[in-house]
Amino acid sequence: MAALTLRTPPRQLAPHRTGARTLTIPTAKRPLVYRGTSLVMGILNVTPDSFSDGGRYLDVSAAVARGVAMAQQGADVLDIGGESTRPGAAAVSAAEELDRVVPVIEQLTKAVRIPLSVDTAKAAVADAALRAGASLINDVTALQGDPQMARVACQSHAAVILMHMRGTPRTMQRHPRYRDVIGEVLAFLREAAGRAQQAGIDRRRIIIDPGLGFGKTVAHNLQLMAALDRFVGAKYPVLIGPSRKSFIGKTLRTEVGERLAGTLACVGAAHLAGAHMVRVHDVQETVHYLKMADAIRRQY
């Protein structure tokens, strides 16, 4: 029988190997400060049809209570969205989106002390949300969906999250193909960030997001997760949004409500790669995971 040789791993971990140890992201109000641990963005969908929690927080009071709860659980920022971007989702009017998000933002601004983000591709919605108290714009079209969005972001001094998406929510999952998914997504985000800067948006306020699940197969999403250090190496703050996504469900063969463990595995990979922010539904579990990971890391 062959002898079994155990190799003792080096006594070190390799998190944040390409990213800065600390980074301040200015927003329209309070800055976000990354100190080597991924910031946690809590998802608050005020929609009837989001893939995971659609309809749960349509009522303003329910949405505000959920936002307050996530802030108490340790969220660093809340992301409020009034239009579903799940695969196949139908578009809604600006008026309807405004009716959903603005009252929630107005109340949350008074109820929590953390920054608020508005998840929208419409300049009119972003403008109203910022006036109501939001500090960031999370745009799944990377400022390409509305020609006025860059102007709104620039004038308000909001931070902007630029996400990669191939197609639209209605078409993005129809046979997505890439020659080099990592290279193409990274090139798109660099170009989008360059356009934002040309429009007058301060580089420090630009966050990039590879767009897990937005025009990608399971293999594409896993490849992007494995190469997050390349995105961090682009020298922009990086947000990653794996929470309860279908690629986790297909990998683990689990339904939406059973994807917490898979989500936390992605959070761990993002944290080790130096990603600056993770966007999740399960805030308390994510905060606890990151705190435990850091407690272990400090012993090395």
Burial of 192 (C-beta count, 10 Å sphere; 0-12/13-18/19+): buried
Q: Which of 7, 279, 291, 298 is catalytic?
A: 279
Q: Which of 205, 216, 245, 259 is catalytic?
A: 245
Q: Measure the CA–CA gap between 98 and 38, rounded to whole angstroms.
A: 30
Cα-only R_g, the chain: 19
User: What would the DSSP string read from start to end of 262-287?
Assistant: HHHHHHHHHHHHT-SEEEES-HHHHH
Q: Measure the CA–CA gap between 184 and 122, rounded to whole angstroms.
A: 25
Q: Measure the CA–CA gap between 150 and 152, rounded to whole angstroms.
A: 5
**Residue 245 bears catalytic tag:** yes
Sign of CA dihedral 33, 34, 37, 38: positive
Cβ(203)–Cβ(24) below 8 Å? no
> How far, CA to CA in Å, does 246 sit from each of 176, 242, 243, 288?
15, 9, 9, 23
Q: Measure the CA–CA gap between 237 and 274, rounded to whole angstroms.
A: 9
- Structure-token pair, residue 1: 């029988």
Task: Identify which of 154, 153, 138 has the alpha carbon closest to the alpha carbon of residue 240.
Answer: 138
Sign of CA dihedral 32, 78, 18, 290: positive
Torsion, CA 93, CA 95, CA 99, CA 100, rounded to 10: 20
Burial of 268 (C-beta count, 10 Å sphere; 0-12/13-18/19+): middle
Q: Which residues are catalytic?
A: 245, 279
